[in-house]
Amino acid sequence: AWWSVAIMASLKRWRTLMKRLMSAEKSDDGLVFSVSWEDGFKARFHAIWLRDNALDPETRSAGNAQRLITLSDIPPDTVIADAAIAADTLSVRFAPENKQVEFPGQWLRDHAYDVSAGRARGWTAPYIAIWDSGFDVANVTGTHETVQHDAIALKDWLAGVRRHGFAKLTGGPVASGALVDVAALFGYVRETNYGKWFEVRTEVNPANLAYTGLGLQAHTDNPYRDPVPTLQILYCLENSAAGGDSQVVDGFAAARRLCAENPHGFELLTRYCARFEYRGTGDVHLASRKPMIELSPDGELTAIRFNNRSTAAITDVPFDDMADYYAAYRRLGEIIDDPAMAVGFKLEPGECFIVDNTRVLHGRTGYADSGGSRWLQGCYADRDGLLSTLSVLEDNTLVNVA
């Protein structure tokens, strides 16, 4: 109704007004600024931080926004000399440079860092949604045709990878190498010693367990690489064998469940490095020393490495902690194997899925190698390229909508 549109519009205008700058007060020594907005939001900023982040064209390139100065170009005794607010913009004069810089109120608000410290260990970024077996694959399933030709469909599909760590694509060509075109939707294949892509099917003399008909415990790929491939695409070309369903498990959900059950064990898996290793039949020997659960220095959950086949002898856990470490390692595996964690689906020829290999584990149920066949191709790619493409698509879609 017209009146609800009118109410929404005035509500939006009111919210925008409430987010306007209200006041800015500098400390007596000029080292700190306290900024308030009309909706009650407050944030403090350091003079040196503001000066370093000045948006003027002498400090930052107008073309690519890269910083043009180093910190040594800014006097260490930088203070705020005076400031004024006009048209929702904070204008600051820095001494001793006597430099005038303007900060839009929204920019300050978007970059406020005056947040309370001490987030719980194992926190995850706000754009991440944790899931378990109740998650419906349909939420992250796109069709080949639409993501190739519709920027909004591609944006939504990539956003699913960012949020849930995996996504599925249906209706692609049943053609060897078609997985490379999936990587090209957002970035580039990462070539490895396995080639630009690798075949996953039964072989008579398997060099790697992935190429046999046995079931595979959910795992992350190639933890013996540093850095690991951050994305994997698995593309189905044949799947007439009984079984062989694909399974994915949210490694962040598993890690958080371990943390809730056994905080000490979680701590051990984050604090000590495991060792991972792969010796190929030829001239390949890959090895890494990384934790199974990786946190950033401020406790953000950033990566899971879990792969029973390529875990080497773990030698970086002190003797007194090894028994507890092994108990935690065992429990993490039990959580990963728990059917309550896994989402399963059967890939049809021309279908594929992509996983964030730093977060989501993949595996498969066993399949019979008589009376049918299963042939997948896999390749690696990198998440930074995917996030870059997604970010650009989001900017462009915003412009289009406005």
Provide the β-strand partners of residue 89. Answer: 86, 104
CA nearest to 262, candidates 195, 169, 332:
332
Residue 254 near residue 336 (C-beta atoms within 8 A)? yes
Provide the β-strand partners of residue 294. Answer: 303
Of 221 and 267, CB closest to Fe ion: 221
Nearest-approach distance from CB 214 to Fe ion, in angstroms: 13
Of 179 and 328, CB closest to Fe ion: 179
Residue 291 near residue 121 (C-beta atoms within 8 A)? no
How many angstroms separate the Cα of 105 from the Cα of each of 67, 191, 387?
Answer: 21, 45, 27
* Residues contributing to the site for Fe ion (CB under 5 A): 221
Of 234 and 341, CB closest to Fe ion: 234
Nearest-approach distance from CB 248 to Fe ion, in angstroms: 11
Please list the alpha-helical segments (H only) found in 40-137. 47-52, 105-110
Of 26 and 201, CB closest to Fe ion: 201
Q: What CA–CA distance (Å, rounded) separates 77 from 51? A: 11
Give the DSSP letter of residue 308: G
Q: What CA–CA distance (Å, rounded) separates 355 from 165? A: 6
> Would you tell me how many other CB atoms lie within 10 Å of the CB of residue 308?
11
Residue 383 near residue 284 (C-beta atoms within 8 A)? no
Of 156 and 221, CB closest to Fe ion: 221
Of 231 and 295, CB closest to Fe ion: 231
Nearest-approach distance from CB 273 to Fe ion, in angstroms: 22
Nearest-approach distance from CB 374 to Fe ion, in angstroms: 14
Of 122 and 165, CB closest to Fe ion: 165
Shortest Cβ contact with Fe ion: which residue? 221
Kindly report the backbone phi and psi dihedral angles of residue 68, in degrees, each rounded to the nearest multiple of 5, phi listed first. -100, -5
**Strand duo 32-37 + 141-143: pairing:** unpaired
Kindly report the backbone phi and psi dihedral angles of residue 390, in degrees, each rounded to the nearest multiple of 5, phi listed first. -60, -45
Q: What is the dihedral of CA 132, 154, 179, 343, to 10 degrees?
A: 10
Nearest-approach distance from CB 221 to Fe ion, in angstroms: 4
Of 104 and 344, CB closest to Fe ion: 344
Nearest-approach distance from CB 312 to Fe ion, in angstroms: 17
Nearest-approach distance from CB 194 to Fe ion, in angstroms: 11
CA nearest to 308, candidates 219, 186, 368:
219
Kindly report the backbone phi and psi dihedral angles of residue 123, in degrees, each rounded to the nearest multiple of 5, phi listed first. -70, 155
Residue by residue, DSSP assigns 307-374 as -GGGB-----S-HHHHHHHHHHHHHHHHHHH-TTTEEEEPPPTT-EEEEETTTEEEEE--B-SSSS-E
Of 78 and 232, CB closest to Fe ion: 232
> Would you tell me how many other CB atoms lie within 10 Å of the CB of residue 56?
12
